[in-house]
Amino acid sequence: MANEQLQEAVDALKKTKVRMTPQRHAILEFLFDSMSHPTADEIYKALEGKFPNMSVATVYNNLRVFKEVGIVKELTYGDSSSRFDCVTTDHYHVICSDCGKIVDFHYPGLDEVETLAEHVTGFQVNNHRMEVYGRCPECKNISKH
């Protein structure tokens, strides 16, 4: 369940001298609950009922903190604002070029690519990013008519 992962994330934060605040908890909760990949603004809007005085800066600040600790990943696409995804299991994303929908899919981590890149370039490789682009079933249908 999402709750266990949330708890793990909270524990991870405690170990790194990062204080737990209601705002931080709410942002994390929202990220883990919604299995979507919200933008900073979406998070801000979703929580303004609970925290009418919360600042957008708080959302951005905390997303940066979460990224540094390693429990959140930033997804950047050309068009608009960044999206944020909690780092849970090893999954990748398929993104619809038409409507922007993001769908997760599982695939074994591309470790071979990392090691090859390391040998060929002399870099000390830490991680990678991979996304697949195409058209989602809905958009495929729309274009047929």
Partner DNA sequence: TTCTTACATTATAATTCTTATAATTTATTT
Partner DNA sequence: AAATAAATTATAAGAATTATAATGTAAGAA
CB nearer to a copy of itself: give 53 or 143: 143
CB of 71 to a copy of itself, least distance (A): 16
Whole-Å CA distances, 145 to 85, 100, 139, 141, 142: 34, 20, 11, 7, 6
3-class secondary structure, 122: coil
Size of the site for DNA (CB under 7 A): 29
Q: 66 with 72: CB under 8 angstroms?
A: yes
Tokens of 8: 């793990």
Interatomic CA distance for residues 52 and 85, integer angstroms: 24
Interatomic CA distance for residues 90 and 106, integer angstroms: 7
Q: Does residue 41 bind DNA (CB under 7 A)? A: yes
CB of 145 to DNA, least distance (A): 25
Query: 30 contacts which partner out of DNA, a copy of itself, none, CB within 5 to 8 A by kind?
Result: none
Query: 49 contacts which partner out of DNA, a copy of itself, none, CB within 5 to 8 A by kind?
Result: none
In the complex, the residues that contact a copy of itself under the rule CB under 8 A are 74, 76-78, 82, 92, 94, 96-97, 103, 105-107, 110, 113-114, 116-118, 120-137, 140
DSSP state of 95: E
Binding residues vs DNA (CB under 7 A) = 14, 17-24, 39-41, 51, 53-58, 60-62, 64-65, 78-82
